[in-house]
Amino acid sequence: MGALHRGHTSLFESARSLVGAKGTVVASIFVNPTQFGPKEDFSRYPRPFSKDQSLCRSHGVDLLFAPTPGEMYTPDFSCWVDESLVSLGLCGGSRPGHFRGVCTVVLKLLQICQPHVAVFGQKDFQQCAVISRMVRDLNMPVKLVFAPTVREQDGLALSSRNAYLNAKEREQAPALYAALCEAKQRVRSGEHRASAIRQLIARRVRQCPDARVDYVSIVHSESLKQVKNIESPTTAALAVFFGKTRLIDNIKLR
């Protein structure tokens, strides 16, 4: 959605390594109105398009696709893609309609650009799972690649929304990843009760005076179903508000 940073440019670099020097790397920039709720930050979402163009150019992007909302959604637009299982909890529970907008716009972008490979970042853990399910269930001829989360030196996952944080909130925000890392270490030490790990993460985050927990969930890494015991591939995911800024992060526990 633009406001590009090192996390985005790492996706461009991954795409280039996958297709080689003779391949074509396409980036799309589109602040998608259909994935924002009525009280969310669509109107104030950062749109530094000239800077984004320069970053695309300097990181090997061959083609930048940047449509307008009117080009993507006609006034009588009426067809939607609605994944109905892995999108239910986590951010889907907190943001009704969000993943309908995500699936619809990603399908449209893939249909328009017709890529052989599409690269997404793992910071948006649930989005990756939802898009994987859509591509599988709709038999879409594209290979998905999910690239690792890129972080600041203090552990904060890079996000365009980090720019909303004031100095005090920014100082506290690395506690999210610290809590997730502490949880992973606790699992390695033998704690397999999901409830105990969830409580550990929430308690650690709530030590930040400006943090407001939206959710902390321990889920199966593919189905995204809540688990009681950490025995199969499992991910801890969270969403936390600092003021009006909602940050997400995740870590594989097993």
> What is the distance between the alpha carbons of residues 142 and 116, in angstroms, rounded to a whole number?
5
> What is the distance between the alpha carbons of residues 251 and 245, in angstroms, rounded to a whole number?
20
> Could you give the angle at which helices 49-58 and 6-19 cross, rounded to 10 degrees?
40
Three-state SS for 33? helix
What are the catalytic residues? 8
Query: How would you classify the pairing of strands 26-28 and 63-65?
Result: parallel
What is each CA distance from 150 to 28, 30, 100, 114, in whole angstroms? 19, 21, 26, 27
Three-state SS for 4? coil
> What is the distance between the alpha carbons of residues 119 and 79, in angstroms, rounded to a whole number?
25
